[in-house]
Amino acid sequence: MDYLPIFIDLKDRQCVVVGGGEIAARKAALLLKAQAKVTIIAPDIAEPTRQMLADSQWAGRVFWLKAVFDKHHLYQQRIVIAATDDNEVNLAVYRAAKAKSLLVNVADEPELCDFILASILDRSPIVIAVSSGGQSPILARNLRARLETLIPPAYSRLGDLVGRYREAVKDKFSQLAQRRRFWESVLEGPVADHMLAGREALAEQTLQTLIDNTADNALQQGEVYLVGAGPGDPDLLTFKALRLMQQADVVFYDRLVSKEVLALVRREAELVYVGKQRAWHHKRQDEINFLLLEHAKQGRRVLRLKGGDPFIFGRGGEEIATLADNKIPFQVVPGITAASGCASYAGIPLTHRDYSQSCVFVTGQLKEGELDLNWQSLVQPRQTIVVYMGLVGLPELSQQLQAHGMRADMPAALVQQGTTENQKVWISTIAELPELAEREQPVAPTLVIIGEVTRLHNSLSWFNPADQNASIDQ
């Protein structure tokens, strides 16, 4: 981040705006909305500033000093804003403010700003600020406009309601974790629904009933969320996955969870890496099962975040079996599995009425150095085969499929780190795939797709056109 987003208390604090034009008037109006006392310094002022001075709601809070700026005007000021059309004056204001260690903002000059005035969505007491760091104010305004449509004005009244009952909830629930869980249930349940629908009296009545009737131990129960993080692109997460990611107290994540997805987890949550890869396990599966159980028993909300889908080669069934045996509540949130996500981003439909009428998922993980697969069932006409974790066993995969009747020129693809900015796609044949992998050295995770449908990559590829340069036409 180039700037740290903060909210400053300006109630009854003295602030200076140097300039009398429209930009200066807008800056002064923002300060006034924050309940500051504003002095406008300028030899002359434009009509928007005159209207502001005449507005009764700002009486006693905004003043015009008809003068040329002087460094002595900064005595006992909290914030300084320069918004003139004279670069020398703006620079003089900046230097004078810095000499007094005051926060200063020079309009349209990011390099002369200690802070940026963001584009604001005001649902007081809820305030959302969007900033581009001074690089593109118009983009920030466009984003704010989108948020306007998503966050109705009723959220202001909801914020007021929560504020009025904050102390009552603090008195009822002594622990911070209990209060957080209580408010999350309130804001995701009927209280919020009533308020947003305009039923304010019913919302307040429901909230009071919840405060009176919710027992302490009801907010101490641990729970586990088994969530599929998808193949890498954070845009592919489900709404439910995002919601639970924001509720977790502790997160156990594996190596296939992208950093972009991990960044969406609640900032205060404890992050624990439990990744596994071939011949090296940071945590064994039984250790992971035990960790989920122990943290849930401590009353924590535990997020088990797994790449792809937890029930497709994700060992999710083993993890929740331990929880079920110990009567720990859990939820399972499916994710887009690698086969679906990577194939779609590579422009390879897994089924197609002209090429494939069925699709089978298999694991290419070696067991005692060998692949243990039902080879005959894989070698079927008009079928697509998707192989997870197949890079190491690729030579045996190629040899066995051909030995059981698959023709050597059957089209096949490697999709490296699909759906991410590092995605690469190689198209070859089942016979030449091992040599291709040896030459190109794809990195994990790489998916193997075998079948006539891989021919469609060149015409259907849409994500990252540079992939076409990595393809080998056969």
For the chain, domains (ranges, CATH) are: 14-117 (3.40.50.720), 154-217 (1.10.8), 223-336 (3.40.1010.10), 339-470 (3.30.950.10)
Contacts of 376-379 with C-beta under 8 Å, sequence gap 24+, read: 376/404, 378/404, 378/406, 379/404, 379/405, 379/406
For residue range 320-349, list pLDDT tens digits in order. 999 999 999 999 999 999 999 999 999 999
* Average pLDDT over the chain, rounded to an integer: 92
pLDDT class for 470, splitting at 50, 70, 90? very low
Predicted local confidence at residue 133, as pLDDT: 82
Q: How far apart are CA 84 and CA 19, in angstroms?
A: 5
State yes or no: pLDDT of 149 exceeds 50. yes
Mean pLDDT of 36-57: 95
Nearest to 413 by CA among 394, 430, 435: 430
Q: Exposure pattern of 63-89 as b/e (b: 16+ CB <10 Å)?
A: ebeeeebeeebbeebbbbbbbbeeeeb
> Catalytic residue at 409?
no
Mean pLDDT of 300-317: 93
Tell me if 189 is assigned to a ligand binding site. Answer: no
Give the amino acid at 79.
I
For residue range 267-294, list pLDDT tens digits in order. 999 999 998 655 555 568 889 999 999 9
Tell me if 23 is assigned to a ligand binding site. Answer: yes
Q: Which tokens is 312 given?
A: 């497709």
> Catalytic residue at 254?
yes
Predicted local confidence at residue 136, as pLDDT: 87
Tell me if 395 is assigned to a ligand binding site. Answer: no
For residue range 393-402, list pLDDT tens digits in order. 999 999 999 9
Predicted local confidence at residue 368, as pLDDT: 66
State yes or no: pLDDT of 406 exceeds 50. yes
Mean pLDDT of 101-128: 92
Tell me if 418 is assigned to a ligand binding site. Answer: yes
Predicted local confidence at residue 277, as pLDDT: 58
Mean pLDDT of 69-79: 95
Q: Which tokens is 196 given?
A: 């947003």
Tell me if 372 is assigned to a ligand binding site. Answer: no
Tell me if 419 is assigned to a ligand binding site. Answer: no
Predicted local confidence at residue 441, as pLDDT: 95
Q: Which helix (H) or strand (E) holds 424?
A: strand 424-429
Mean pLDDT of 125-134: 90
Tell me if 307 is assigned to a ligand binding site. Answer: yes
State yes or no: pLDDT of 60 exceeds 60. yes
Predicted local confidence at residue 217, as pLDDT: 74
Q: What is the dihedral of CA 317, 323, 326, 328, to 10 degrees?
A: -140
- Exactly one of 33, 172, 276, 283 is catalytic; which is it? 276
Nearest to 305 by CA among 316, 318, 294: 316
Predicted local confidence at residue 390, as pLDDT: 92
Q: Would the pTM count as exceeding 0.75?
A: no
Predicted local confidence at residue 412, as pLDDT: 97
State yes or no: pLDDT of 474 exceeds 50. no
pLDDT class for 124, splitting at 50, 70, 90? very high
Nearest to 351 by CA among 382, 310, 322, 328: 382
Tell me if 198 is assigned to a ligand binding site. Answer: no
Nearest to 20 by CA among 62, 77, 66, 73: 66
Q: What percent of the chain has pLDDT over 90?
A: 81
Predicted local confidence at residue 28, as pLDDT: 96
State yes or no: pLDDT of 198 exceeds 80. yes
pLDDT class for 221, splitting at 50, 70, 90? confident
Q: Which tokens is 382 given?
A: 């008009």
Q: What percent of the chain has pLDDT over 70?
A: 95
State yes or no: pLDDT of 168 exceeds 80. yes
Predicted local confidence at residue 427, as pLDDT: 96
pLDDT class for 467, splitting at 50, 70, 90? very low
- Exactly one of 233, 249, 254, 467 is catalytic; which is it? 254
Q: Which helix (H) or strand (E) holds 143?
A: helix 137-150
